């Protein structure tokens, strides 16, 4: 959910399982992501959040239901908070969104707040490549 690119996830798995066949580790990692995380965990987190919301409503704290993060969505898109999802919804790649997400203190920005933040950000201060800077500039046009 931190927006780590797939090659880095696979690389980490290979480093942790050096005694195993690399091809097997790659296949197992991809299968875990596709079958376990993107299906089972997303489904189970959706159920958990629905039950939690129902409990909050029943015990008289409906306002707490609104504060439950959309964990299933975060897992589905590979993002860890609202700001990163907002950056991605503006058309930024997951890599660029993750870099900007690390740079901002506000992790709960809406799409319009993210756009405004990007317009005012001094992109050169973040030591971004020219390609990423152009991607960001295209997104805020």
* DSSP characters over 62-93: HHHHTTS--HHHHHHHT-SSHHHHHHHHTT--
Instruction: Give which of 95, 48, 38, 55 is closest to 69, Cα–Cα.
Output: 48
Question: Is the pLDDT confidence value at 104 over 70?
Answer: yes
Q: Are 90 and 57 within one domain?
A: no
Q: Alpha carbon 87 to chain centroid distance?
A: 10
Domain count of the chain? 2
Domain containing 40 equals 1-78
Q: Are residues 26 and 74 in the same domain?
A: yes
Could you tell me if 3 and 71 lie in one domain? Answer: yes
% of the chain surpassing 90 pLDDT: 48
pLDDT value, residue 54: 95
Q: Give the per-residue pLDDT at 3.
A: 67
In this structure, the answer to whether residues 119 and 72 fall within a common structural domain is: no
Q: Of 34, 53, 78, which residue is a domain's last?
A: 78
Angle, vertex CA 98, rays to CA 84 and CA 93, nearest 5? 85
Is residue 78 pLDDT above 80, yes or no? no
**According to the model, what pLDDT value does residue 23 have?**
96
Of 26, 51, 78, the one marking the end of a domain is: 78
Residue spans of beta strands (DSSP E) within 5-123: none
Given a cut of 80, whether residue 1 has pLDDT beyond it is: no
């Amino acid at each position: 959910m931190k927006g780590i690119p797939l090659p880095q996830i696979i690389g980490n798995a290979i480093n942790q399982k050096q005694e195993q066949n690399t091809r097997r580790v790659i296949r197992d990692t991809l299968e875990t992501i596709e079958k376990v995380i993107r299906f089972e965990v997303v489904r189970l987190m959706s159920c958990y959040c629905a039950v939690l919301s129902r409990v909050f409503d029943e015990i008289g704290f409906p306002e707490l239901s609104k504060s439950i993060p959309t964990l299933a969505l975060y897992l589905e898109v590979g993002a860890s908070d609202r700001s990163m999802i907002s950056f991605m919804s503006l058309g930024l790649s997951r890599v660029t969104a993750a870099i900007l997400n690390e740079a901002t203190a506000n992790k709960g920005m809406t799409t319009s707040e993210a756009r405004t933040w990007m317009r005012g950000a001094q992109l050169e201060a973040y030591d971004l490549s020219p390609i990423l800077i152009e991607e960001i500039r295209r997104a805020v046009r």
